[in-house]
Structures are given as C-alpha cells and as structure tokens.
Chain A
Amino acid sequence: MTDPYTFEFEDGLVREWNLTEEGATFREVEDYQPSMFVSGSEDVLSSLEERLRSDPKVAATARERWATDLHESHVDERSELLRVSLERVGEVRTLARELRGDALESERYAPGTVRLYDVDLDPGFRYCLDNGIDPTPERGSRAMLGPDRGLRTLEIEIDEPGLATEDVSELRLDGDLVSGDPEDVCWSIGRRLDRIDPDVLVLSHGELVPVLESAAAEAGLEAFHLGRLPGWRRVAGSNTYESYGSVGHSPARYRVPGRAIVDRSNSFLWHQSGLAGLLYMVEKTGRPLQEVAWGSIGTLLTSRQIRFARTEHDVLAPQNKWEPERFKDVSTLHAGDRGGFTFSPEVGLHEDVHEIDFASLYPRIICQQNVSPETIGCGRDHGSNGTEPSTVPELEYDRCSKPGFLPEVLTPLLNDRSGMKRQLESDPLADDEARRLRAESGAIKWVLVSCFGYQGYRNAKFGRIECHEAINAYARDIALEAKARLEDGGWHIVHGIVDSLWVTACVDDPEPLEDVTQDISSSVGIELEHDGRYEWVCFVPLRESGTGSGPDASSNSRSRSGSSPLSHSGSAPSGALNKYFGKRTDGTYKFRGIETRRRSTPEFVAESQREFVEVLDGERDPAAVCETLEKRIGKLRRGAVDPGQLVHTKRISRRLGAYSRRTQTVAALERYDRHGIDRHPGQSVEYVVVDDDADGLGRVRLAFEDCSSVDDDYYTSLLVRACESVLSPLGWDRRRIREHLRDGRTVRLSTFTSTD
C-alpha cells in the first residue's frame, strides 16, 4: 500500500487517509508530537528547558545535534539545540511567539541570540517530513496509471455573483449545469459525490465549502457533506499580501475529511499544469496535494529545499533570515549589482532572424558552477585537497568545489525536464502520456525559472544575495563569450535578454549557425538551442522614447543591421526589452509584451492588433495597416462589436476606499459593491467602459451587467494605441497614425461598409 495522501489535524489527533481500490480509508494517530528547535548559549537553553517543563503545550524537551545553517553542515559541524516537542501542531507558532517575546523582554540575552527553527512549516508537510511519508497519491499499479495517477476528481463551479450572495441555485458539476432550488442542487451534488467518490475536489472557489455545507444544512439534507466524513474546517483566513511589489490576495482555505481540495481561485500551478503538474510537485516537495495546490512556486521550491536540507544535510529550517550580507567594498558591490546581461534591442523590422536560447541558463549555472549559499565565500576549498578555491568572475567571492546544496536540489528537476523534453520530441506517445509529460515539464519550468530570483528574495530561507550576484556574474560571462563567437561566425545580435539571443546574418556567407551554437554549447557547457526561425521580427520602441513622426521617419530607410528596408531610422530610439512580435517560418506569430498578450486588453482590441500584424506581414506598408485600423474603428462605431468583446479584466491592488483617484477600476469596484460582491486586492474586476468622461458609477458596466452602448471614443483610442505598438518599430507613432486617418487616407466606401 502507498503512503497516505491527505491529512486532517483535529484536537491533537491526526487523521491519515490512504487510497484504496474502491475509495479511501483512514487511520487516526494520537501520539504525533510536532517539534521546533531553539539555538542559543548553554545557559539560555537550560533556563528555557527548565521553564518549558511546566508549559502545558509542551510534551517533551531534549537536546539534539543539528546544523543551524548550510555552512555548518558543509564544514561538518553541528550545534547542540533544544528540541521542543508539542502536543498539538497548531501550537507551534504560539509557543514560538512566546519564546521570542520572552527572549526580547529578558535583559539576559540580546535579540538574535536565541533563534528558532522549524516553526513555520505547513502541518501536512511537517507531518510527512517528520514521519518519512511520501504523500504522492496513486491508485492501482503504476504502469496502468494515466496522468492523474488513478485519482478521481469532481469539479464544482459557481459564478461570482452567486458566490457573493451565497446563492447556490446554479452550479456546474464537472462542467454540467445544475440548477434549481438549493435543496435540489445540493442533492445533485450529494448524489454525484456518492457515485464518483472523488479523492480531489476541484472548486472554483474555496468559499464553496461553507456556502454549500450551510445551504445543505438549511435545506435539511443531513446526509450531505463534501468530505468522506461529516464536517469541514477553515484552516486559514483570507489574507492580502505584497510580493515582488505587487499585491496579491489569498482567499481563506478550507479542509474536508478525506478529500484534497484544489481551490482554483488560489492555485497558480493548477492553471499552469493541472492535476498532473500538482502531483509531480507533491512527489518533488513532499507537500501533500492540498498544500501543493495553494502553494506559490516559491513555497514549493522552499519546501523542496527544507526537505532536502533536513534529510540530506541535517540542517533545520530557520524561522527568520538573520544571516546578513558580508561587508564588501564599493567596487565589489558595484560589480555585483550589475544584474543580468542584456543586449538592447534594435528597434525596427528585422528579416530572417533566428532565436537561440541557453536552455535553463540560471539553474544550469547553479549546478555547473556549484553556486550555493554555503559554497560562495566558503573561504576554503573542501572539495579538493586544500587547493585554493576558484573565484567568481568580476567578484571577489571564492567558491568551494565540494558539491553544494542548491545544485543537489535542482539537478533532479533539470534532469527530469530534459528527459521529458527528449521523450516528447522523439517518442511516439499516447495522448495521456504526452499530456502528463507536458504538465510535469511545465511545473518544473516554473520552479527553475524562479530559483534564481528566489536566491535574492529577502525572505528566502536558504537564499543569499551573494549567490544571486554570482549567478549573474557567470551569466554575463557566458553572454559575452557567446557574442564574440557569434560575431566571429558572421552573426549579429539584434536583441538579447539573459538567456535568449536574436541573431541575423551580417555577412553574405556566415558560418552555419548550428556550428556556431554547438561550439558555444560545448565551450560554456550549457546547451545553446535553436529556438525558432522568423521570417521577420519587430522590436518595439519604449513608448516615451518618442519615435519619429515626421516625414523623415521614412519607411524606406535601412536599419543599422541593414537587414530590412522597413526599419526605423534616425536617432535610434531605445527598444523596450520585452516588447516584440514576429512571424515564424512556419507561419505562426509570436507576440510579447504588446497589447494582445496582456490580460487586461479587451478581446476586440487584442484581435484587432493580431490583424494589424497580419496585414503588416502581407503588405509591409503602414498605410495598409492604418486602413485595417479604420475598418475596425468603423465596425466599433457602427455598434457591430459585442460588448462582451470589450471587457477589460484588471487586477486590483487596493480596497475600494483606498483609491484616491477616480479611475475606471474604482467605478467598477463601486458597482461590485452595489451588487454586494466583495473584491479584495489581488483579485480582478471585469468591466466595459460606457462613458469614460463620466465621474461615478456610470463610467463602466460590469461584464455580467447589461450594456446597451459603449464609449466609442475610448475604444477607438485603444485601437489606435494597439496599432501604434505594431507600427512604432517602423517609425509611426500615434500622432502620425491619427494624421493618416484624417488626411492621408484613401477613403474607400468599403472601409465603412464591409462586414467581417
């Protein structure tokens, strides 16, 4: 039998659920005692131990030897720590707070001299870690399993207004509409639960748990319960937080017995890679499914690190980041601060462009160069016999060659991902298998993408700013080496961001690109892959850099790279690093950073912009694109665009009362408020602009409200902007587009009469 996969913690009791062929069974564990650890001087620990003996929360205390950080483990040292075992998992944080408070109040020891470990582990993860449980669920034999590993799911959806008013008369069960009295609906859900006996509940909103349970109770359906046993619990309140400068909202979390809940409104990974991706991360992190579902990528990476640190390195998870940067001189700081290497994009249209990528550049650097919190600045080389440690380029940091922690954490993920990619490319696979591989590979991608940034994140438990800087320094080194080799081979870099380079031939007979990239790959030790070939690519200027709009900005001048007759000339405007679009040689388009890729852009505008690009591709003439714009504007003004296509989706960063300016978002929030729908920072609002000049509620209509007319001028300006993004690489800005629409146009009847 496999290990249990979902857990409940109630009143000092743990209920473990195991999957069986038919459903699931549980076992109740009464003697689980979660632990936290304390480091400090001997007299501090003794007095704490003495005091904790009489604390009713504490089950036992003991002395144990652990490493308090990665470096201690790296040099094979251990410290004596006080282990404090508790009666209940929910009391770990309470005790931690008391201990820290006492330590602060006491005159005897300064803050920071008493440090705590293993305080903020999520309960399921902690339980699995303490008991060596692998919570990866599986039903049946592995060979027979599809991407969902034999798990049974039921998906329940409710729409926003229904949730706000707790009106359950209309729901979707696995996509099927179920409507009627709350009693009927709950009865249908109950029947479905009985029939499927799901292991996983996929809910559009976690709030469905209390809403459905109370609706069923009100309707007198005593046998109704979402779990495999009666009862439900709220395990965390809702919370607004700030991360990387943007505001997010995490809704309250709920638990029902015997089933893992996936709250779609609170699961990044579900949207990226579905259940298969979640299950893969369960295996790689040791977090049970429900805790993987709501975990951010940073949380998942941290869990993997914590598990690895504890099991392989005897290192506990510190509660706070006390370890600071070392003192360094200004020139080192300057070198370290430089960030990743970028080649500024050459604004304009470039023809026959190749995109080449270093596969997983940052994680590969970490693994190849042994970059880890304990290896950078270690001071000695423990890997070989007393030789001098090597140093990080441009920085003074030395680096130990003894295999580091971070590479050990990442290597299996890198290997899995390249294995999956190989399989997907070469083997003929069943649909299910291909779907699983893609989902898993997608999940890994996100972890790999964030592992570098996470090293610099202030609260990363095993992060260190010096690692972040070292990785950047190696990346710059690699970028410069690649550039030199490409130029030797007759290739010119038109744009490059960190791990991707866009190149065109700058001589008539360049060395085959494949030979050049192979050379670079073997020289730097990281695969430089050919990612795509483009008929043409446009790099968009920064909006404020002011593209030329006069007649000088001729569409017939040549770009600096000389690759295109359509490039912008004059004083070269600076390109936006992440705004470009192009046509692949297979005929598909790639868009980055422009309106059509943005979540907030109304579909009609997005679709118009894609058409502008197609016309540009066919005609290579800004005037032809303007003509398309004109048609689009005409369609809008004729009222021939469904308002549903004009919906803005915007993420809000504050509560209604906290906005000082009266924006569209505020108007939308006021309307939600009037419907009694609560919107938290981090959630989205969806609205159509009906009168952008209006001051109050009348400015917008919500997506689900009736809307008879829209603000034509407002949407026209959005279309013009979207057109500007497409034409600005050719030197046409908004003013020139408007001028062309007004004066220079060749007005044809068809512009206004054609229907799509």
Chain B
Amino acid sequence: MRNPCSAAYGPSGKHSSMSRLEFEPGLTSYRVPSPRSPILHELVCSRLAETPGPAYWIDAGNTASPQVLYDCASSPRVLDSLRIARSFTAYQHHSIVRRMVENATLRTSLIVAPNVVSRYRDDDVPPWEREELLAASLETLAELGRALEIPVLVTTSSDEAEATVSEHADHTVECVRTREGVRLEGDGAETMGYWRGSYWQTTIPYWVDCCGVADRIDPVVTAADRGLLDMYPEPGGSSGEALSNPETEVSG
C-alpha cells in the first residue's frame, strides 16, 4: 500500500527537470485543501503530458474549469486526450461512473473524479439511498483501477468524505498546506512530494499563484530554506504580511 515514491512532484511542463509523481494503479484518494483546488488540475496535466491514451474526468461541483486546465497545461494540445462529463445530481454521477465501465480500456491513462462524495450529500438524495449509491460508485471506480491497472484519482476536502472514501481506496494522499507550501503525503506517513532545496524558488510562487494561498508563505522562510538564514522565525513573528505578489518577493 505504501507508495515508495519519495521524489518531489513538480509542476509538469513548466519545470520538466523535476522528478515526477508516480501514478499508482488503483484508486487513490487525494485529500485536497478545498473542493476546487487546482492541485488536481496540475496532477492531471502532468499525467496527460507523459502518458498517451485517453483520460476521463468525472466532474462534480464545477471543478473542471477549462480555464484552470488551460493554465496548468504546458500546451493546449496536452488536453486533447482529456474527456470531461459533468454531474449535477448523484444519479448522474453514478451513471457517469457506470459509463466509465464501458469506456475505459487498458489504454486509458487516467480517470479522475474530484469531490467524489459531494453530489451524494445533496439534499435531494434520500438518506437511505445515498450511502449505498456512493459505495457502489466508489467500488466501481476502485474495481476499474485494479482490473485495468490504471490510476483512478478521486479528491475529498472534508474529514467525513475522506473517511468514507478511504475505505475503498488503495492509496491515500494528503495534500498538506504547510508553511513551506503544499506537500503531498502518501498514506499518512510517506512524503511523496515535497519541495525543498532549489525547488523552492519556483514552487512557492507557483503554488501561491495556483492556490491563491498567500498566507503562511513567507520570504523569511524562503530565505531560511535557501540557506541565507540558519533558523526559522518564531511563529507569527517577523513577517505577518502575506505575499500579495510572490513573483516580486521570491525571485530566483
């Protein structure tokens, strides 16, 4: 279950020299900071750039913003192999999952389902039905991943959803927002992606840009990381000021 990958995951295309995240076959549950977190878009673009074959995106909650995808892709052509279907009800979500059974093949490079739980929590799904329907969807996705040996990524953004999904997932990854930026932690212990050393200079502004997370990222931390300071500042200390324009604050 443990993901042995310890290399850093870097934004695809833009910094191709970085090591890449291994996409494990099977169902991987990503805990993301917010429902529309662009971390997923980035992961998907990274996969699309490297792997031929069609990829499928089962959308919920309008996460599949074409604009964010275009922004994350190194070139629009990267997105050519991506197919998206949006669900607006739990029933539609489940139907798309079932449709995947017909569409997916050994050639499929990736299946993603952001906010995989959310539609099943809508008011119009009766309580007695929602868990069964959700379980059926998750089981189908997990089975697809195992049978075809393809990566299936789902995201959650609450503890409750994460707990539900992890029962079905082969791997879990937490996207932790730390003072250093966003870190991907596999199965609760292993650090799958982590930015350090020279990666800092580019990844901080990148993630700030991507996530709009300006707090906690701090030029002093950056300086410390680059070896210009030999200790971290006190919590809540020196800076307090959020970076409003990371490009100017963190220059290479």
| A interface residues (Cβ-Cβ under 8 A, vs B) | 97, 100-101, 104-105, 110-112, 241-242, 320-331, 333-334, 337, 458-459, 465
For residue B129, give the distance in angstroms from its CB to the closest CB of chain A. 6
A327 to B92, CA, bound (A): 12
Once the chains are docked, how many angstroms separate the CA of A626 from the CA of B133? 62
Bound form: Cα–Cα A665–B123 in Å = 26
In contact, A110 and B92 (Cβ under 8 angstroms): no
| B132 contact set on A, CB distance < 8 A | 104-105, 111
User: B83 contacts which chain A residues (CB < 8 A)?
Assistant: 327-329
Asked, given contacts A100-B129, A101-B129, A321-B89, whether A112 binds B98 with beta carbons under 8 Å apart, the answer is: yes
Which chain A positions have C-beta within 8 A of B124? 459
Q: Does B215 touch A at the CB level, under 8 Å?
A: no
- The answer to whether B88 and A458 have CB atoms under 8 Å apart is yes
Contact with A along B77-88 (1 / 0, CB 8 A): 001101111111
Q: B175 at interface (Cβ–Cβ under 8 A)?
A: no
> Among residues 67 to 126 in chain B, which have CB atoms less than 8 Å away from a CB atom of chain A?
67, 69-70, 76, 79-80, 82-89, 91-96, 98-99, 103, 123-124, 126
Q: Please, which residues of chain B bring their CB within 8 A of the CB of A110?
A: 98, 136
Distance of B179 from chain A, by nearest CB (Å) = 29
Are B66 and A111 in contact (CB-based, < 8 A)?
A: no
B160-175: which have CB < 8 Å to A? none
What are 25 A-B contacts with C-beta separation under 8 Å? A97-B126, A100-B129, A101-B128, A101-B129, A105-B132, A112-B95, A112-B98, A241-B123, A320-B89, A322-B95, A323-B95, A324-B93, A324-B95, A327-B103, A328-B83, A329-B79, A329-B82, A329-B84, A330-B69, A331-B76, A331-B79, A333-B64, A334-B67, A334-B70, A459-B89
Q: What residues of chain A lie closer than 8 Å to B133, measured between beta carbons?
A: 104, 111
Interface residues of chain B, those whose CB is within 8 Å of chain A, are 56, 64, 66-67, 69-70, 76, 79-80, 82-89, 91-96, 98-99, 103, 123-124, 126, 128-129, 132-133, 136
What's the Cα separation between A196 and B13 when bound, in Å? 80
* Distance between B65 CB and nearest chain A CB, rounded to angstroms: 8
Residues of B within 8 A of A241 (CB): 123
Option from B76, B96, B129 in Cβ contact (under 8 Å) with A324: B96
Give Cα distance in the complex from A76 to B56, angstroms.
32
Report how far A101 CA is from B70 CA in the complex, Å.
43
A676 to B121, CA, bound (A): 34
Residue of A nearest to B83 (CB): A327
Contact in complex: A330, B123 (CB < 8 Å): no
| Chain A residue, CB-CB nearest to B123 | A242
Q: Would A112 and B84 be within 8 Å (CB), given that A97-B128, A104-B132, A330-B70 are in contact? A: no
The verdict on A330 contacting B79 (CB below 8 Å), with A101-B128, A324-B92 known, is yes
Given contacts A111-B94, A322-B91, 4 further A-B contacts (CB under 8 A): A331-B66, A333-B66, A334-B67, A465-B86
The distance in angstroms between the C-alpha atoms of A242 and B124, with both chains bound, is 10
Question: Which single residue of chain A is at the shortest CB-CB distance from B59?
Answer: A325
Contact partners of A320 in chain B: CB under 8 A: 89, 91
With A and B bound together, what is the CA distance between A110 and B97 in angstroms? 12
Shortest A80–chain B CB gap in Å is 21
The complex places the Cα of A101 from the Cα of B86 at a distance, in Å, of 26
Residue from B70, B92, B128 in contact with A325 in the complex, judged by beta carbons closer than 8 Å: B92
Closest chain A residue, CB of each to CB of B98:
A112
Cα distance A324–B88 in the bound complex, in angstroms: 8
Tell me how far the C-beta of B88 lies from the nearest C-beta in chain A, rounded to whole angstroms.
4
Q: Are B79 and A327 touching (Cβ within 8 A)?
A: no
Q: Please, which residue of chain B has its CB at the minimum distance from the CB of A242?
A: B123
Residue of B nearest to A100 (CB): B129
CA distance in complex: A110, B101 (Å):
13
> Measured between alpha carbons, how far is A97 from B84 in the docked complex, in Å?
32
Q: A104-B132, A111-B133, A465-B88 are in contact. Are A330 and B82 (CB under 8 A)?
A: yes
Q: Report Cα–Cα, A458/B59, bound state, in Å.
A: 14
Residue of B nearest to A458 (CB): B88
Name the contact of A330 in the complex, choosing from B84, B86, B91, B96 (C-beta under 8 A).
Answer: B84
CB-CB under 8 A from A325, the residues of chain B are: 85-87, 92, 96
Residues of B within 8 A of A465 (CB): 86, 88
Whether A324 contacts B126 by the Cβ 8 Å rule is no
Q: How long is the Cα–Cα vector from A110 to B64 in the complex, in angstroms?
A: 27
Cα-based distance from A328 to B84 in the complex (angstroms)? 5
Nearest CB to that of B131 among chain A residues? A104
By a CB distance below 8 angstroms, the chain A residues around B76 are 330-331
| Complex-state Cα separation, A108 to B202, whole angstroms | 53
Distance (Å) between the CB of B156 and the closest chain A CB? 21
Cβ distance B60 to chain A, nearest Cβ, rounded Å: 11
Kindly provide the distance from the CB of B191 to the nearest chain A CB, expressed in whole angstroms. Answer: 32
A323 touches B92 (CB 8 A): yes
Indicate the member of B79, B95, B99, B133 with the most A CB atoms within 10 Å: B95
Select the residue from A100, A104, A112, A324 with max chain B CB neighbours within 10 A.
Answer: A324
A336, closest chain B residue (CB):
B66
B69 close to A458 (CB less than 8 A): no
Q: Which residue from chain A places its CB closest to the CB of B125 in the assembled complex?
A: A320
User: Is there an interface contact between A324 and B85, defined as CB atoms closer than 8 Å?
Assistant: yes
A327 and B91 contact, CB distance less than 8 A: no
A325 to B85, CA, bound (A): 5
Name which residue of chain B comes closest to A327, CB basis.
Answer: B83
Q: Which residue of A lies closest to B67 (CB)?
A: A334
Given A104-B132, A334-B66: A329 touches B80 (CB 8 Å cut-off)? yes
Chain A nearest CB from B105 CB (Å) reads 14
- Chain B residues lying within 8 Å of A324, measured Cβ to Cβ, are 85-87, 92-93, 95-96, 99
CA distance A333 to B123 in the complex (A): 27
How many angstroms from the CA of A112 to the CA of B79 in the assembled complex? 31
- Say yes or no: B103 contacts A104, CB within 8 Å: no
Q: Which residue of chain A lies nearest to B103 when distances are taken between CB atoms in the complex?
A: A327
- In the bound complex, residues from chain B placing their C-beta under 8 Å from that of A331 are 66, 76, 79
Q: Kindly list the 10 A-B residue pairs having the minimum CB-CB distance in the complex, ordered from nearest.
A: A458-B88, A334-B66, A327-B83, A324-B92, A104-B132, A322-B91, A330-B79, A320-B91, A324-B95, A327-B85
Which residues does chain A contribute within 8 Å of B103, judged by CB atoms?
327
Closest to B86 in A: A325
A residues near B91, Cβ cutoff 8 Å: 112, 320-322
For residue B100, which residue of chain A has the nearest CB? A327
CB distance from B226 to the nearest CB of A (A): 37
- Establish whether residues A326 and B85, one from each chain, have CB atoms under 8 Å apart when the complex forms: yes
A688 to B127, CA, bound (A): 42
Q: CA of A324 to CA of B83 in the docked complex: distance in angstroms?
A: 14
Residue of A nearest to B94 (CB): A112
Kindly list chain A residues whose C-beta atoms are within 8 Å of the C-beta of B129.
100-101, 104, 111
In the complex, which residues of chain A have a beta carbon less than 8 angstroms from the beta carbon of B64? 333
CB distance from B79 to the nearest CB of A (A): 4
Q: Which of B70, B76, B80, B84 has the most CB of A within 10 A?
A: B84
CB distance from A751 to the nearest CB of B (A): 45
Q: What CA separation (Å) do A459 and B91 show in the bound complex?
A: 10
Question: Closest chain A residue to B65 by CB distance?
Answer: A337
- Measured between C-beta atoms, what is the minimum distance from B140 to chain A in Å? 8
Task: Collect the chain A residues with CB atoms within 8 Å of residue B94's CB.
Answer: 111-112, 322
Which residue of B has the minimal Cβ distance to A328? B84
Q: How far does the Cβ of A371 sit from chain B's closest Cβ, in whole Å?
A: 19
**Chain B, residue nearest A337 (CB):** B66
Residues of A near B87 (CB, < 8 A) are: 324-325
Structural contact, B98 and A328, CB atoms closer than 8 A: no
Contacting residues, chain B, for A323 (C-beta < 8 A): 92, 95
- Give the docked Cα–Cα distance between A734 and B79 (Å): 48
| Cβ–Cβ < 8 Å partners of B126 in chain A | 97
CB contacts (< 8 Å) of B136 on chain A: these are 110-111
Contacts A97-B126, A104-B132, A111-B132 given: A328-B85 contact, CB under 8 Å?
A: yes
Q: Which residues of A sit under 8 angstroms from B98, Cβ to Cβ?
A: 110, 112
